[in-house]
Amino acid sequence: DTGVSQDPRHKITKRGQNVTFRCDPISEHNRLYWYRQTLGQGPEFLTYFQNEAQLEKSRLLSDRFSAERPKGSFSTLEIQRTEQGDSAMYLCASSLGPYNEQFFGPGTRLTVL
């Protein structure tokens, strides 16, 4: 399977706990994106990387969120001190370049109790 993979697919956590998600992009893609989707809405941009450099962060990404892409390969998204409002589907996508389509992974569904 050469598509975008995400792990875990589901995460249930208690409020105040930290969680970390992983994304493995398509291997030759140098751009990697994180989005968040809530019920009834389209995905909303969170942040993106070109190789290992994080080039933009949305204002949706509070100080409790941090993303990394060491060595320009896989990426991790960490949420510290989770809140119930963080419950959402977290989607990762990758692309070859800016005007190439983004390919999405299956997402990680986070539920904060």
Partner 1 sequence: DQQVKQNSPSLSVQEGRISILNCDYTNSMFDYFLWYKKYPAEGPTFLISISSIKDKNEDGRFTVFLNKSAKHLSLHIVPSQPGDSAVYFCAASGEIQGAQKLVFGQGTRLTINP
Among 2, 40, 59, 84, binds partner 1 (CB under 8 A): 40
By CB under 8 A, what part of segment 51-90 binds partner 1?
55-56, 58
Burial 10-40 (b: 16+ CB within 10 A, else e): ebebeeeeebebebbbbeebebbbbbbeeee
70 or 98: whose CB is closer to partner 1? 98
CA 50 to mean position of chain CA atoms: 14
Nearest distance from C-beta of residue 44 to partner 1, angstroms: 7
Main-chain dihedrals φ then ψ at residue 78, nearest 5 degrees = -110, 135
Among 11, 65, 88, 105, binds partner 1 (CB under 8 A): 105
Rounded distance, CA 32 to CA 26, Å? 9
Give residues in contact with partner 1 (CB under 8 A).
4, 6, 31, 33, 35, 40-45, 48, 55-56, 58, 91, 93, 98-99, 101-107
